[in-house]
A and B are shown apart, each in its own frame.
Chain A
Amino acid sequence: MSVDTQTVKKIAFLSHLKIDDDKIDTVGAEFNKIISWVEQLNEANTDNVEPLVSVNDTKLTLRKDEVVEGNQADKILKNAPAAEYDYFVVPKVVE
């Protein structure tokens, strides 16, 4: 399966990564090499094989409904690049 430039751009968009226009072909070529390399998996016969979801077959353990964490806005905001009135501040969201 060959990945076209349009797809590479879409993947970059979904990943929120910018690829300069002059690099898009190089990135695309490398991307294609990798994708065709992993496609060796197609040789494996996986008929009637269940995908592996949990390696240890563990079942989920549940937590008691207790409030343990909170009242720590200072710690939550400690590393914030920008904060005002205890809010994280980011450039305006446009729909």
Chain B
Amino acid sequence: MLLEGKTGKWEIICGLEIHCQIISKSKIFSSASTHYGSDTNQNVSFVDAGMPGMLPTLNEECVKQAVKTGLGLRAQINKYSEFSRKNYFYADLPQGYQITQFVHPIVGEGVVTIDLDDGTTKDIRIERLHIEQDAAKSIHDMSPTKSFIDLNRCGIGLMEIVTKPDFRSPEEAGAFLKKLRSIVRYLGTCDGNMNEGSMRCDASISIRPLGEKELRPRAEIKNVNSVKFAMQAIEFEAKRQLELYENGGTMEQETCRFDAATGTTKFMRKKEFANDYRYFPEPDLPPLVLTDEYIENIRKELPELPDAKKTRFVENMGLTKYDATIICENKEVADFFEKAAAGHDGKKVANWLMGDFFAMLNRKNLTIENSPVSAENLGKLVGLIENNTISGKVAKDVFEIMSETGENPEKIVEEKGLKQVTDSSAIEAIVDQVIAANPDNVTAFRNGKTNLKGWFVGQVLKESKGKANPQIVNELLDKKL
């Protein structure tokens, strides 16, 4: 996407930093629980509270999850990594420093392929992934003079994923966030819930006249908590900068935040007021050294990731790229699809899934996990159409019943007597009846009004209460008219 300015075309340059809360039972440097929604200050160890003399110990699960995610990002896993302290005073940082990785992160460069709406793909380069501790979450609006500190979130493991400045439009950034969320969910390393804050995004945005080589100063937007907001924020900020430049203004590197209520970015501080974090190697934790064997064992355990699944669905199950992309975005949907499609025509199952089935979930405000229609039953329904037991039209009625009762479609068809009539003598009787009852139309048809054929088919199907096999009806009409 290019910005159309008064002075010409401008290009957006954007990079993202995403914080993903690691799924683990205990915190990254302490053995307190990561459980969400516990009572105030109950998931807190003496380490988390920054008590004197307390020392961090690294959770093996957080290391494993980071390596897994790194492999999912097709990234370099660094066998040697180090922890560092990032020093600053903050209410939510009891130690007065955050333990993070600085010079030697656990994961290096990688790549994520994003799917764009026009059906094309683009590779986004990953700069690094490192692990660190989350801050606490305080309450500042309970009193005009006091802040209230709850350390439950303090010390939960985070993966910070940094991209190269490869995004040229808000859409690309949005597609990346969706893809990343999909990857971490497939891997089970982060639940990806941006609205609950378990995945948070910072975006750096600058613009430049198309063709200019130098990068201009950027604005960093902190803590955007949905894909939609991230796209809005980037678009707003890019346009703001465009207006600034075209009115003769200049940019300085700055930090801002996104205001969801107005869809605008709000200035926070200039770069020169940024903190001096005084990073240095964490003396309480020796370097982390991983072996090839360790990394390979994790690689072997990796589940099939969305891109691989998509290719397989296109190549082996007859899906279009578009359908496969949508179905594979969510692992639960992909699994549901695969179960439903077992032994059936994949494309037909996909049509049902993305049509009536999703519409039903939307209408009932349900997720796929608690759908009344099971994957097996959706598959059976398609099977009944495939073997001509019911017509597509009857199938829609059967599906309605299934979504109310959750019943097996075979049983519904049996009980309600909805089986398609394929006995041509029975259908012939109806055809004869319809011809006899409508002599005017028969004459008109025979005089060249051939488009009345459809009308005859409809009449026959109506008389059969939809059970007549439309193909046989057609054949008989052709013969008799």
Query: A86 contacts B41, CB within 8 Å?
Result: yes
A75–B41 Cα distance when bound, in Å, is 10
Query: A87 contacts B286, CB within 8 Å?
Result: no
Contact partner, A63, options B42, B58, B146, B288, Cβ 8 Å:
B58
Interface size on B, residues (CB 8 A): 47
Q: Mark A67-95, 1 if CB is under 8 A from B, else 0.
A: 11111110111000000111111111101
A30–B288 Cα distance when bound, in Å, is 40
Whether B45 sits at the interface, judged by CB under 8 Å, is yes
A71–B24 Cα distance when bound, in Å, is 18
Whether A60 sits at the interface, judged by CB under 8 Å, is yes
Contact partner, A70, options B32, B82, B145, Cβ 8 Å:
B32
Whether B287 sits at the interface, judged by CB under 8 Å, is yes
Within 8 A of A (CB), among B20-53: 24-26, 30-33, 39-46, 49
Query: A76 contacts B149, CB within 8 Å?
Result: no
A6 to chain B, nearest CB (A): 13
Whether A14 sits at the interface, judged by CB under 8 Å, is yes
Whether B148 sits at the interface, judged by CB under 8 Å, is yes
Q: Determine which residue in B24, B26, B91, B289 has the highest number of CB atoms from chain A within 10 A of its CB, and name it.
A: B26
Give the A-B pair count, Cβ closer than 8 A.
118
Q: A14-B276, A58-B286, A71-B42 in contact; A65/B149 too (CB < 8 A)?
A: no
Q: A14-B278, A69-B45 in contact; A62/B60 too (CB < 8 A)?
A: yes
Q: A54-B287, A73-B44 in contact; A66/B148 too (CB < 8 A)?
A: no
A77, closest chain B residue (CB): B41
- Write out the residue numbers on chain A whose beta carbons fall within 8 Å of the beta carbon of B288: 59-60
Within 8 A of B (CB), among A44-69: 53-54, 56, 58-69
Q: Determine which residue in A59, A63, A70, A77 has the highest number of CB atoms from chain B within 10 A of its CB, and name it.
A: A70
A61–B289 Cα distance when bound, in Å, is 9
Query: B82 contacts A87, CB within 8 Å?
Result: no
Query: B41 contacts A60, CB within 8 Å?
Result: no
Question: Which of B136-144, B159-167, B410-418, B426-434 faces chain A?
Answer: B136-144
A60–B82 Cα distance when bound, in Å, is 10
Query: A65 contacts B26, CB within 8 Å?
Result: yes
- Write out the residue numbers on chain B whose beta carbons fall within 8 Å of the beta carbon of A75: 46
B221 to chain A, nearest CB (A): 15
Q: A60-B58, A93-B140 in contact; A66/B41 too (CB < 8 A)?
A: no
Q: Determine which residue in B31, B41, B42, B46 has the highest number of CB atoms from chain A within 10 A of its CB, and name it.
A: B41
A92–B278 Cα distance when bound, in Å, is 26
Query: A67 contacts B32, CB within 8 Å?
Result: yes
Whether B59 sits at the interface, judged by CB under 8 Å, is yes
Whether A16 sits at the interface, judged by CB under 8 Å, is yes
Whether B298 sits at the interface, judged by CB under 8 Å, is no
A16, closest chain B residue (CB): B89
- Write out the residue numbers on chain A whose beta carbons fall within 8 Å of the beta carbon of B66: none
B260 to chain A, nearest CB (A): 17
Whether B17 sits at the interface, judged by CB under 8 Å, is no
Query: A91 contacts B146, CB within 8 Å?
Result: yes
Query: A92 contacts B39, CB within 8 Å?
Result: no
Q: Mark A6-23, 1 if CB is under 8 A from B, else 0.
A: 000010001010000000
A21–B185 Cα distance when bound, in Å, is 56
Contact partner, A53, options B144, B147, B287, Cβ 8 Å:
B287
A64–B30 Cα distance when bound, in Å, is 10
Query: A70 contacts B46, CB within 8 Å?
Result: no
Q: Determine which residue in B82, B138, B146, B278 has the highest number of CB atoms from chain A within 10 A of its CB, and name it.
A: B146
Query: B89 contacts A90, CB within 8 Å?
Result: no
A56–B283 Cα distance when bound, in Å, is 12
Whether B61 sits at the interface, judged by CB under 8 Å, is yes
A34 to chain B, nearest CB (A): 18
Q: Determine which residue in A56, A73, A77 has the highest number of CB atoms from chain B within 10 A of its CB, and name it.
A: A73
Whether B18 sits at the interface, judged by CB under 8 Å, is no
Whether B150 sits at the interface, judged by CB under 8 Å, is yes
Contact partner, B91, options A60, A76, A93, Cβ 8 Å:
A93
Q: A62-B59, A70-B33 in contact; A87/B150 too (CB < 8 A)?
A: yes
Whether B405 sits at the interface, judged by CB under 8 Å, is no
Query: B148 contacts A53, CB within 8 Å?
Result: no
- Write out the residue numbers on chain B whose beta carbons fall within 8 Å of the beta carbon of A76: 41, 44, 46, 49, 151
Whether B268 sits at the interface, judged by CB under 8 Å, is yes
A86–B38 Cα distance when bound, in Å, is 12
Query: A65 contacts B59, CB within 8 Å?
Result: yes
- Write out the residue numbers on chain B whose beta carbons fall within 8 Å of the beta carbon of A73: 39-42, 44
Query: A86 contacts B39, CB within 8 Å?
Result: yes
Whether B57 sits at the interface, judged by CB under 8 Å, is yes
Whether B63 sits at the interface, judged by CB under 8 Å, is yes
- Write out the residue numbers on chain A whose beta carbons fall within 8 Å of the beta carbon of B31: 63, 66-69
User: What 5 A-B pairs are tightest by C-beta distance, nearest first?
Assistant: A65-B61, A62-B60, A87-B148, A69-B45, A68-B31
Write 22 A-B pairs (CB below 8 A) sorted by A numbering: A54-B286, A59-B286, A60-B287, A62-B59, A65-B24, A66-B26, A68-B26, A70-B42, A70-B43, A72-B42, A76-B44, A76-B151, A85-B40, A86-B39, A86-B40, A86-B41, A87-B139, A88-B41, A88-B151, A92-B145, A92-B147, A93-B91
